Structure 1
Amino acid sequence: MKPITSLDYSRRVERVLRHIGENLERDIDLNALAEIACLSPYHFHRVYAGMLGETVSETVRRLRLHHAAGALVESEAAIAGIATRAGYGSVAAVGRAFQSAYGMAPAAYRKRGFLVAEYPASDPTDNPTGSEDNMFPVTLRDTKPVRLAALRHHGHYLEIGPVFGRLYAWAAPRGLMTPTTRGIGIYYSDTNALPPAEWKSDACISVGSDVKGEDDVRVIDLAGGRHAVLLHKGPYAELHKAYNWLFGTWLPASGEEPADRPCFEEYLNNPQDLPPEEWLTEISLPLVAK
C-alpha cells in the first residue's frame, strides 16, 4: 500500500472500533461496520483482521467478556443484567463464553473474587515493608522519561480497550508498532471521588522524538523518576484490587510519599494472544524523590 492509502485505512478502522466500543450491548452487524468503514462487505473483514490481528467477532467477544468480568467483581448486579449489558442474550450465553475464556462460571468467578492465585509474600529486598502478608510483588525503580502518542478516553477505565485499538490502527501504517513499542495507560481520575462518566485517562504507545501528533492523537512526555512498581497477573477487571492493596497496605507501611503525578500501567503482553490469567500488567506509582 502507498502510505496515504494505509493512513486512510487506519482512519476507517478507527471509526469501526469507536462504533464497536459504543455498542457492545447491541448486535454487531458486519455489513453496517463495512458501511462505517466505507469498504465493500466483501473486503472489509479482511482489512480489519489484517490490521488488528483479530476478527471483528474476536474483538467483540474479548471486550464483552472484559466488561462482564469487571461488573462481576465490582458490583452485586444480577448476572442476568450483566449479561444483557455485555451484549449477551441470556445468562446461559454469557456462562458459556465466560467458561471458555476464564475456565469457570460467572457465579463461581464472582464468589472466588479472583482468577489467578494471590501472590506470595515479596522478597524483602524488593519490598521495603518486609511484610509477611503481601499480595503483590512491588519493586522500587528509577525510570527514564518516555515520549508517548496518546489518545484521550472519558469514562470507565474498563472501557479504554477500543481506544487502544483506535490508537494501534493509527500507529500501524505509520510504522510505529514495533517489537519494542510499549503500551501504557495513564489514569488521571480518583475513581472513589468521581462518577465513571467523569473519569479521564490516556491510551498510549511509546514513540520516538520525531513523531508528531495528528487529529485526536497527542504527543506527551511521561516523567521519569522514582516509582513503586507493582506486578499484577490476571484479568484487567481485577486491577482495582491491586490498586486498593498498593494504596491501602503497601504505601502506609513503606515510608514513601506519592508524588503529585498520576499512576500509569504498562501492559507487558498481548491479551489477544493469551488467556486472561496470563495477562501481565505493571502499575507504577510515582514517588517523591529522596
Structure 2
Amino acid sequence: MRADQYQRHLDAVTDYIYAHLDDDLSLETLAHVSGFSRFHWHRIYRAVRGETTAQTVRRLRLERAAAMLRETSWPVERIARKAGFTGSEVFSRSFLRSYGTTPSQFRTGQRPASTDSALTSSGSGSTSSVREVPGWPVRVEARCGYRLAASEHRGAYMDIGRAFSRVKDRMGAGSPMVAIYEDDPDAVPRADLRSAAGTVADPGTKIPHDLVERTVPAGRYAIMRYIGPYSSMHAAYLWLYGQWLPNSGEEPRDHPIIEEYLTDPATTPPVRAVTDILLPLL
C-alpha cells in the first residue's frame, strides 16, 4: 500500500472520530473504519499519531467537556455523561489528572499561571522588547517570515485538530505546528469559521498535493505567551485586544491572528500547554 493510501485511511478515522465522539469508538469500530486489519490497525495508528486511539478519544472528549464547562450552564453530571463517563466522580478524577483542577474549579475561571518559560517559538527575530503589564506576558518582536504546509479547516476552532492530524501524517511531527485563524469566533457563526493548520516547511520542501502553502509574513508582532488549556484561551484574547492593545500605542496589521504551538497536545497535559499568540502589528 502506498503512503498516500495510508494517509487516506488515517484521514477517514480522524474524520469519523470527530463526527462520532458520542458514539462507540472501540478499537473494533475504528479498525473497520480504517480498512486495516484489526491485528495491525492499532500499531499503525500509535506509530503515526504518537498516542493510542483510546488516548485520542479521551483527550478530545475532555477538551469538549472543558469547553462545555466554560460555555454552558449544564450540570457537571450532564457534561460527564456527554464526555462518555459513567458518572461525575469518574469524570472529575480524569479531568483533574489532565487539567490540574476539578471541573467545578475550572468552570469558575481560574486562570493558569502565566509565568514565562525557557521555550522558544519558531522563526527568528531581530529585535525584541518585553512589556511589563498585568495579565499575560507580551513582547513586541520583529520576526522573519516562513512558509507553512497547511490543511484548511472550516468550522469550530476547537475541531482544528483533525486538520493538524492530516498535516502531521504527511509532514511528520518534527517541525513546529502553527495555525492561522481568519475569523472572530464572537462575530462569525461557528460553522463558517475559517482557519488553517500547518507545520513550518523549509524553502526547498515540496508541499504535498493535498495540502496548501500558506505564509506567515515577516514583520512586527505582539507575541503573547499563553500557558493552559486551549478551551480557556478566549479570556486571553479578550485581554490582548481589550486591555493590552489599546494601551500599547500599537496598531494591528491587516493579517489574521497566528498561533504557534510549543508543546504537543498528545504528550502534554492541557494545563501545561504552551502557545504563542501572534498579533500582527504595523
Give the TM-score taking structure 2 as reference length.
0.89
Match of 1:207 in 2: 201
Q: Any idea what SS the aligned residue of 1:126 has?
A: strand
User: Contact 1:139–1:230 (CA<8 Å) still a contact in 2?
Assistant: yes
Q: Give the 5 Å matches for 1:73-88.
A: 73-88=70-85
- Report the Cα distance in structure 1 between the residues aligned to 2:156 and 2:104, rounded to whole angstroms: 23
Alpha-carbon distance in structure 2 between the residues aligned to 1:222 and 1:118: 25
Counterpart amino acid of 1:51? V
Deviates more, 1:58-67 or 1:73-82: 73-82
How far the C-alpha of 1:190 sits from its partner, in A, is 1.2
Deviation at 1:77, TM superposition (A): 2.9
SS at match of 1:72: helix
Kept in 2: contact 1:67–1:159 (CA 8 A): no
What SS does structure 1 have at the residue aligned with 2:271?
helix
Opposite residue 230 of structure 2, the aligned amino acid is Y
Distance 1:164 1:85 in 2: 24
The share of aligned pairs that are identical, in percent, is 36
Structure 1 position 70, deviation (Å): 1.6
Ranges in structure 2 where 5+ consecutive residues have no aligned partner: 117-128
User: In 2, Cα distance between the equivalents of 1:119 and 1:196?
Assistant: 31
Equivalence for 2:89: 92
Out of 100, 104, 109, which is 1:103 matched to? 100
Contact 2:95 2:102 in 1 (8 A): yes
User: Superposed, which structure 2 residues align to 1:256-271 within 5 Å?
Assistant: 256-271=250-265
Asked whether the 8 Å contact 1:187–1:201 carries over to 2, the reply is yes
Q: What TM-score results when the alignment is normalised by the length of structure 1?
A: 0.86
Name the CA distance, whole Å, in 1 between partners of 2:40 and 2:18: 22
Aligned match of 1:117: 113
Where in structure 1 do 4 or more consecutive aligned residues deviate above 4 Å?
none
For residue 254 of structure 1, the aligned residue among 224, 248, 251 is 248
Counterpart CA distance in 1 for 2:221 and 2:96 is: 37
Q: Secondary structure at the match of 2:148?
A: strand
Identify the residue that residue 170 of structure 1 maps to in structure 2.
170
Distance, in Å, in 1 between the alignment partners of 2:255 and 2:72 is: 29
Contact 1:269 1:279 in 2 (8 A): yes
Contact 1:25–1:88 under 8 Å retained in 2: no
Q: 1:54 deviation in Å?
A: 0.5
Q: One-letter code of the match for 1:251?
A: L
The letter of the residue matching 2:144 is K
Question: Is 2:150–2:198's contact at 8 Å kept on the other side of the alignment?
Answer: yes
Q: 1-side partners of 2:2 and 2:280: how far apart? A: 41
More displaced stretch, 29-38 vs 56-65? 29-38
How far off is 1:86 after superposition?
3.0
Q: 1:86 to 1:252 in 2, by over 3 A?
A: same
Deviations 1:105-137 (A, max 9, x none): 2112212x13523559xxxx511xx54xx1111
For the residues of structure 2 that align with 1:65 and 1:18, how far apart are their CA atoms?
Answer: 18
Checking the alignment, whether the CA contact within 8 Å between 1:27 and 1:87 is kept in structure 2 is: no
Q: Residue 238 of structure 1 aligns with which residue?
A: 232
CA distance in 2, matches of 1:76, 1:270: 30
Determine if the alignment matches structure 1 residue 51 to structure 2 residue 45. Answer: no
Give secondary structure in 2 for the equivalent of 1:228.
strand
* Match in the other structure for 1:281: 275
- Report the CA distance between 1:153 and its aligned residue: 1.4
